[in-house]
């Protein structure tokens, strides 16, 4: 691992050693020179098909993924930890199983997970600095990934406790956008998004508590699915960030994102939320029918006066016109968001406080995190219970768009702005960071309060070549409809054919 600084070897469950690097700490703004980059990996479904057809091996795919990660780590800095030795051993075992005729949905396919997700033998830093011990067991989502045959090659960078729409921090430096390394890939699942967009892995898991899958998907030209609350288990957490946060896939195509969703979906016995199963991959192959689509430009109240950047508005307008050309009825509408932010803030800050309080060295946390910890501690208890009690009324009020007005899908920009430059949020106070964040990303978080599904789809590029996205939002348990509609758009626009110049 010559291109990055490895951490000390950590003992794995098997008693051998595992390199938990690379970890890159950048002292300057500019990206470091990179080694030659191997070719991009094929997508998730294509990788699985090639493995089943014996036209490639898991060992070759995993080795290529590891080489590509190392070659791009100095510039993109997508990964916090690699499982190089274990991943190669698991790939060799997958090759033996494939040769013996075993078939599983993802047998031998390399994938990555975000660093808020427990992987046995690795620490779960969740973007924080400090020495944390390796965890003893996999999260339920990773357990299901392994059961589907996937090889987890490493854990991707996240901002500290997933709070911000950028992936930068003193613990690991800055994760950069493969479309333009002067800009952020978004956050908090920025490492996963950068890794998939750059072709380091075919697909990756992220998590979304206020848009943290959809925002980086929008800013890196990916499909990102925020599923229904409970669709993918967050265990060992029972109700992550007071019910705001869910896990979700990032991929270059709808079919790949749906395949990953099917592989990890399902509840742990201790989970609170248990929506009925969906068949996402089948939905990606199904015509959505003619739908009534509401186009909303006005975001929820954020007190910033934010509206979409003209280039974002142009791109989303073009997407709406494509939907109309495909036979859907599209008209502008205004969801009745009300004062939904009053329900979001107590839940979000209480969730941050719960995670921050478990850190063994609180002094290492970002001052903005410590501010959120104090706010969350004050707003915990009664305020959080009141905020959660409002959810039923919020379902009725906002759900009237679907129930009373008869719309099937809500279309909005995913973000109000294109991806900001690296360092845009440096040295801001907690309040100024929140204001800047709300101005750039006012559209995504209400669906976390509601617990309903949403899908980011690529909407095109600014004139300077930066990606922007649009989100397809639906009522409770509407993933299949949203996925079918996204797949129809993809068939027409073929956004997967455009790749970043990594």
188 flagged as catalytic: yes
Q: Which of 47, 58, 86, 114 is catalytic?
A: 114
Separation between Cα atoms, residue 186 and residue 177, nearest integer Å? 8
226 flagged as catalytic: no
Separation between Cα atoms, residue 194 and residue 176, nearest integer Å? 7
Q: Which residues of 24-50 are buried (b: 16+ CB within 10 A; e: fewer)?
A: bebeeeebeebeebbebbbbbbbbbeb
Q: Which of 58, 86, 188, 484 is catalytic?
A: 188
Separation between Cα atoms, residue 244 and residue 71, nearest integer Å? 35
Structure token pair of residue 131: 């020495």
Q: Tell me how crowded residue 462 is: count the other CB atoms within 10 A of its CB.
A: 17
Q: Which of 212, 233, 240, 484 is catalytic?
A: 212
Task: Point out which residues pair with 251 in neighbouring strands.
Answer: 203, 223
Q: What is the DSSP string of 303-372?
A: SS-----HHHHHHHHHHHHHHHHTT-EEEE------STHHHHHHHHHHHHHHHHTT-S-GGGS-HHHHHH
Contact 39, 132 (CB under 8 A): no
Instruction: Collapse the DSSP code of 219 into the 3-class scheme (helix H, G, I; strand E, B; otherwise coil) and give the result.
Output: helix
Contact 187, 159 (CB under 8 A): yes
Give the sign of the dihedral formed by CA 26, CA 30, CA 31, CA 33: negative
Question: Cis (ω within 30 of 0) for the bond into 22?
Answer: yes
114 flagged as catalytic: yes
Q: Would you name the residues annotated as active-site residues?
A: 114, 188, 212
């Amino acid at each position: 691992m010559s291109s990055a600084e490895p951490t000390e070897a950590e003992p794995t469950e098997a008693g051998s050693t595992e390199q938990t690097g690379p970890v890159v700490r950048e002292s300057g703004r500019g990206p470091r020179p990179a080694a030659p980059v191997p070719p991009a990996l094929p997508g998730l479904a294509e990788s699985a098909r090639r493995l089943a057809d014996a036209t490639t091996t898991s060992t070759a795919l995993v080795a290529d993924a590891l080489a590509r990660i190392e070659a791009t780590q100095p510039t993109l800095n997508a990964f916090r930890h690699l499982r190089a030795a274990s991943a190669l051993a698991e790939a060799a075992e997958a090759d033996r199983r494939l040769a013996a005729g075993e078939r599983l949905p993802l047998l031998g396919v390399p994938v990555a997970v975000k660093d808020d997700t427990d992987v046995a033998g690795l620490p779960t830093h969740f973007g924080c600095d400090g020495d944390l011990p390796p965890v003893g067991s996999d999260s339920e989502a990773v357990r299901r990934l392994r059961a589907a045959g996937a090889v987890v090659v490493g854990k991707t960078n996240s901002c500290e406790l997933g709070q911000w729409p950028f992936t930068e921090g003193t613990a690991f430096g800055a994760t950069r956008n493969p479309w333009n390394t002067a800009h952020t890939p978004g956050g908090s699942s920025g490492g996963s998004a950068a890794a998939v967009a750059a072709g380091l892995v075919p697909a990756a898991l992220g998590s979304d508590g206020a848009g943290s899958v959809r925002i980086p998907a929008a800013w890196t030209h990916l499909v990102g699915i925020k599923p229904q609350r409970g669709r993918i288990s967050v265990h060992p957490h029972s109700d992550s960030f007071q019910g705001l946060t869910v896990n979700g896939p990032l991929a270059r195509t709808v079919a790949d994102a749906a395949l990953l969703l099917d592989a990890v979906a399902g509840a742990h016995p201790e989970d609170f939320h248990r929506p009925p199963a969906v068949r996402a991959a089948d939905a990606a192959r199904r015509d959505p029918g003619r739908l009534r689509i509401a186009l909303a430009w006005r975001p929820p109240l954020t007190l910033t006066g934010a509206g979409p950047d003209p280039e974002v508005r142009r791109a989303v307008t073009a997407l709406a016109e494509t939907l109309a050309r495909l036979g859907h009825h599209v008209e502008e509408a205004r969801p009745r968001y009300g004062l939904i932010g009053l329900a979001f803030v107590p839940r979000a800050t209480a969730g941050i406080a719960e995670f921050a309080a478990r850190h063994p060295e609180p002094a290492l946390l970002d001052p903005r995190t410590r501010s959120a910890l104090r706010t969350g501690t004050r707003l915990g208890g009664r305020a959080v219970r009141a905020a959660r009690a409002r959810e039923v009324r919020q379902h009725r009020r906002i759900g009237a768009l679907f129930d009373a007005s008869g719309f099937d899908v809500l279309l909005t920009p995913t973000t109000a702005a294109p991806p900001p430059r690296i360092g845009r949020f440096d040295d801001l106070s907690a309040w100024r960071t929140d204001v800047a964040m709300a101005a750039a990303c006012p559209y995504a978080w209400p669906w976390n309060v509601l617990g309903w599904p949403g899908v980011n789809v690529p909407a095109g590029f600014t004139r300077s070549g930066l990606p922007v996205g649009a989100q397809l939002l639906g009522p409770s348990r509407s993933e299949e409809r949203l996925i079918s509609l996204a797949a129809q758009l993809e068939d027409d626009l073929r956004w997967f054919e455009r790749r970043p110049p990594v």
